[in-house]
Structure 1
Amino acid sequence: MRKLAEAVAKYIGMALGIHEEELDLLAKSFGEGSCQVRMTYYPACPEPERAVGMTPHADATGITLLTECGNVAGLQVLRKDNCWVTVPPVPGSIVVNLGQIIEVYSNGTYRAPDHRVVVNKEKERVSIATFCNPSPSLPVGPSPQLLAATGLPPIFQTLSNSEEFMQRFYSRKLLDAVPFIDSLKL
């Protein structure tokens, strides 16, 4: 999973027009960064309309790699028109979800999507999520090459590293009216 996160980070950088040293630094950072794995079991629920599998949220991490075990749908993504769309499970696949660290790095080009999990009335569901972060030595802020190439101003502040980013994320109040990502905007 770490090698996959490294490759995804490299392709994201390439798509943003990042090259040479910064691209290598980004990819290497995900190769050296932390990964946490969470396995989640969602039992069948006789009244799924009255239960929530996982509340709506956007991942604060860099890249999330999701493996769904079985063929039971549950992951939903919020579209721009505020409608929830079910992501159909594809056997043997890995769902790549970009987190808020990538949103900041891309200066908002790539958004960390809001998503949730719903339960199934008749079938249980198991998923394995791997949350990948860049190395703590990498500053978390808009890509300098991206800003130079586009001439756009940064829309997010730069934090000293991913540990500071995650510490600020976890130290916020859960009932804050301002979404975490918006608290980083300049």
Structure 2
Amino acid sequence: MEEYHREMRALGGRLLDVFFTALGLTDDQIAAGETERKIRETLTATIHPIMYPRCPEPEHAIGLPAHTDSGFITLIAQSPVPGLQLLRRGPDRWVTVPAPPGALMVVLGDLFQVLTNGRFRSALHRAAVNRERDRISVPYFLGPPADMKVAPLASAMPPWTKAAFRGVTWAECMVVKQKALAMGASALAMVQVAEEGEESGSAA
């Protein structure tokens, strides 16, 4: 388990660099950026194995309801039984992700959408059950320390844009998500920076 954690943690750091590069940062900028460096050095991780028992009537059951993850990146290892589903927009429909042996699924979370000022978006996903076989999923959650304030990276915003989200810690994000769930609202909308004349925290 220690080796698995070490390798997954290192993979998370490499993926962060890939996303930083996609934002337009050079290797020198990534190395010199205080926030970027702090995020890589202080990534926290939790692992949460889940078993979904076979279900004789999968059309009447759901393994895990639709949700977005709260952290930065979730790496999902799963048994070769498809079950992870992503919502594809326009028109909205659920798409089952293939489960090839040895593959890892990468799902972005809410705090990564905040960090990149919406240039990368968290993925709405759910888990379906299988009629004939049990399914095992092992999500590996990567995020900031609980007390680290996450705000849009200056390097993620072109000069003509403004921050779309206020800074929020992971702990605060979880509280907001619980409040949003009770209100039927969007957690990300509740941490958006309001435009002039608008009220912050309105439901989406």
CA distance in 2: counterparts of 1:27 and 1:125, whole angstroms: 37
Choose which of 75, 80, 102 in structure 1 pairs with 2:84: 75
**In the TM superposition, what is the alpha-carbon distance from 1:63 to its structure 2 partner?**
0.6
CA-CA distance at 1:167 after TM superposition: 4.5
1:35-64 residue CA offsets vs partner (Å, 9 max, x unmatched):
111111011100001111000011111110
Residue of 21, 29, 34 corresponding to 2:44: 34
Where does residue 99 of structure 1 map in the other structure? 109
Give the match for residue 66 of structure 1.
76
Counterparts of 2:99 and 2:125, CA distance in 1 = 15
Q: Residues 81-101 of structure 1: CA distance to partner in whole angstroms, max 9, x if unpaired?
A: 211011000111111111011
Q: Secondary structure at the match of 2:138?
A: strand
Specify the SS of the correspondent of 1:89: coil
Superposition pairs for residues 1-186 of structure 1, below 5 Å?
1-18=8-25, 19-20=29-30, 21-22=32-33, 25-26=35-36, 28-69=38-79, 71-81=80-90, 82-136=92-146, 138-147=148-157, 149-159=158-168, 161-170=169-178, 172=179, 174-186=181-193
What letter is aligned with 1:180?
A
Corresponding letter in the other structure for 1:91: P
Deviation at 1:157, TM superposition (A): 1.0
Quote the Cα distance in structure 2 between the aligned partners of 1:173 and 1:182.
9
Q: Which amino acid aligns with 1:165?
A: C
How much identity, in percent, do the aligned residues show? 31
Q: Secondary structure at the match of 1:175?
A: helix
Instruction: Give ranges in structure 2 of 5+ residues lacking alignment.
Output: 1-7, 194-204
The Cα of 1:135 is off from its aligned counterpart by 3.5
The runs of 5 or more residues in structure 1 that have no matched partner are none
Cα RMSD over matched residues? Answer: 1.9
Q: In 1, Cα distance between the equivalents of 2:126 and 2:173?
A: 23
TM-score (norm 1): 0.88
Partners in 2 of 1:111 and 1:12 — Cα distance? 12
Structure 1: distance between partners of 2:54 and 2:147: 43
Runs of 4+ in 1 over 4 A off after TM superposition: none
Measure the CA separation in 2 of the matches of 1:140 and 1:67: 27
Query: 2:48 aligns to what SS in structure 1?
Result: strand
CA distance in structure 2 between the aligned counterparts of 1:30 and 1:11, rounded to whole angstroms: 12
Higher RCO (CA 8 Å, separation ≥ 6 residues): 1
CA contact (8 A) 1:7 1:27 kept: no
- Tell me by how many angstroms 1:176 deviates: 1.8
The residue identity in structure 1 corresponding to 2:153 is: S
- How many correspondences in the alignment? 181
Q: Is the 8 A contact 2:53 2:133 kept in 1?
A: yes
How does the TM-score come out when normalised to structure 2?
0.81
